[in-house]
Amino acid sequence: MGACGITSSKTALVFLNLIFWAAAGVLCYAGAYVFITYDDYDHFFEDVYTLIPAAVIIGVGALLFIIGLIGCYSTVRESPCGLASFVFILLLVFMIEVAVVVLGYIYRAKVEERVNSSIQGVYDEYNGTNSDAASRAIDYVQRQLKCCGIHNYSDWTHTPWFEGSKNNSVPISCCRPDLETCTGSLTRTEDLFQEGCEALVVKKLKEIMMYVILAAVTFATIQMLGILCACAVLCQRRPASNYDRLITGETYG
């Protein structure tokens, strides 16, 4: 019965270590995705501390590769020292992931406030040239999120760019992609995206933070299973006591 139990625990632990390797790749991808996306929206949310959870899960992902190696080796060899190290490292990573979840929720709650305080300034900096970073950011966001202006297209009429252009139009990036003849003219507002960008930028950034949180929670759960399996193997491989030997009828040499 004991042999069957330890075999089951070892099999489950080896399987979980394979999942750890897959998880490492997913975590690194999730962290990299946050960095890349933040680069597209950094003009609207200039808080680099938001990247802390993403940086941490990339580090955790790299550590999971090493944990998988240690776990597989220790499980196959049934090394008490290796399994104890495996459990300790998993506990450490688990606590780090709990911290990531907490930080993720903290920064997710700040997204709307930060975007609201910065977006007007970004639109005021718009000059319509591709060489200007703020202009590229706004054009990218409007095309990507299919939005126009802060709350709607009429917000453009209060910007320095609109007052300087004097052509009663909004940027071409406000045009619906299915209308090739659209020039951004406010005389044909039906050709423009109707929704404002502020709410959509907030939604997008919150979604990104939620990806990080969900990834951390999911793999923290898997790690707890790994800890339980490793502990099961350790407990079942402990040296038999005199009482155990007496019960099983073993004789002493």
Q: What rounded mean pLDDT belongs to the chain?
A: 79
pLDDT in tens, 150-188: 999 999 999 999 988 888 899 999 999 988 889 999 999
pLDDT number for residue 196: 93
- Helices 197-236 & 52-77 angle (0-180, nearest 10): 20
Give dist(CA 48, CA 198) in Å, integer.
19
pLDDT number for residue 149: 93
pLDDT number for residue 195: 94
**Three-state SS sequence of the chain:** CHHHHHHHHHHHHHHHHHHHHHHHHHHHHHHHHHHHHHHHHCCCCCCHHHHHHHHHHHHHHHHHHHHHHHHHHHHHHCCHHHHHHHHHHHHHHHHHHHHHHHHHHHHHHHHHHHHHHHHHHHHHHCCCCCCCHHHHHHHHHHHHHCCCCCCCHHHHHHCHHHHHHCCCECCHHHECCCCCCCCCECCCHHHECCCCHHHHHHHHHHHHHHHHHHHHHHHHHHHHHHHHHHHHHHHHCCCCCHHHHHHHCCCCC
- Taking alpha carbons only, the member of 90, 27, 26 closest to residue 58 is 27
Give dist(CA 102, CA 216) in Å, integer.
10
Per-residue pLDDT for 46 more than 80?
A: no
pLDDT in tens, 109-122: 888 888 888 888 88
